[in-house]
Amino acid sequence: MTPAPPNPAPRSEPVGPQPGRLPVREVDRRSGDVWHSMRRYFIDEFFTRRVAELPDGARVADIGGKKARKRGAFDIEREVAARGLRVSYINLDPATEPDILADACAIPAPDGSFDAVILAEIVEHLPDPGAALREASRLLRSGGVLLATAPFCYQIHPDPIDIARYTPDWWRRALADAGLERVELEPQGRYFSVLVDMLRAWACWAEQTGAWPPSLRTPAFGFLEWARETAHQLDDNHAMTRDEFFGSFTTGFGVRAVKPGPERGA
């Protein structure tokens, strides 16, 4: 008699389909720029959309944010000018010209000082990301919002170190341990976005090292731009985002979570 197969391991809770994203043209993507990754588009899109949801005049802590020499197309200073957001930049590097020079896990500000906290591409560089999430939670008032992004299928990029990649299960557990709830996890790109960023990374390497064969550079850039547009279309394909295989890949996650209590304006 053939023995029964063992019970399968419990599956983690699915992330779900990709949410409605802002059109590429609204995020000011640098079309044709080999240095501009699919990942960067998703980061810019997430914060453009999510910061617009914050109430006018909100107090925002941008932990790890750069007041000077920003990366990407999203600039929260536009929201400062348009809607009076009050942003405090918190960074350990004095070259970023922070308002508060501090480690992400020990910030000299009172409990409940902020309506929103941003952690943009930070947790993967921290030896103790859970402590940073707990500190972010402490800084939030009741009903305040955490907005975070982090890579998943993406190349190692020390800044100055690159520690880890985190799954949805880790995010849910770490956010719960930090006292945050109403968690929304947005997968940022799927299988083909991951492939395109791998191709883009190779193109960047070829550009830096001069490794392009004489006749390949121009068609390669053309193919890369076509691949980017195709990946965006496939990311919006509802059936593909729910496919078990294709849905198991992503460039990273956008995260929204709430400190328990009434949200302002609710």
186 and 19 in contact (C-beta within 8 Å)? yes
Residue 5's pLDDT band (boundaries 50, 70, 90)? Answer: very low
Q: What is the tens place of the pLDDT at every residue in 183-202?
A: 999 999 999 999 999 999 99
- Residue 148 forms beta bridges with which residues? 119, 255
pLDDT the model gives residue 159: 84
Q: What is the tens place of the pLDDT at every residue in 211-226?
A: 888 788 889 888 998 9
Here the tokens at position 14 are 């699915």
Please state, as a whole number, how many other Cβ atoms lie within 10 Å of the Cβ of residue 16.
14
Tell me how far apart the terminal alpha carbons of the chain are, to the nearest angstrom.
Answer: 62
pLDDT the model gives residue 18: 54
Element (H, E) at 65: none
Element (H, E) at 181: strand 181-187
Q: What is the tens place of the pLDDT at every residue in 122-174?
A: 999 999 999 999 999 999 999 999 999 999 999 998 988 999 999 999 999 99
Estimate to the nearest angstrom the gap between the alpha carbon of 30 and the chain centroid. Answer: 18
DSSP 258: E
pLDDT the model gives residue 31: 53
**Average of pLDDT values for 42-60?**
95
pLDDT the model gives residue 90: 96
Rounded distance between C-alpha atoms, residue 266 and residue 260, angstroms? 13
pLDDT the model gives residue 218: 87
Q: How many CA atoms lie within 13 A of 36 on its CB side?
A: 19
- Domains of the chain with bracketed CATH: 30-190+247-258 (3.40.50.150)
Q: What is the tens place of the pLDDT at every residue in 76-134?
A: 999 999 999 999 999 999 988 999 999 999 999 999 999 999 999 999 999 999 999 99
Q: What is the DSSP secondary-structure string of 81-142?
A: HHH--EEEEEES-GGG--SEE-BTTB--S-TT-EEEEEEES-GGG-S-HHHHHHHHHHHEEE
Q: What is the DSSP secondary-structure string of 17-72?
A: SPPPPPPGGGTT--TT-TTS-HHHHHHHHHHHHHHTTSPTT-EEEEET--SSS--S
Q: What is the pTM of this model?
A: 0.88
185 and 255 in contact (C-beta within 8 Å)? yes
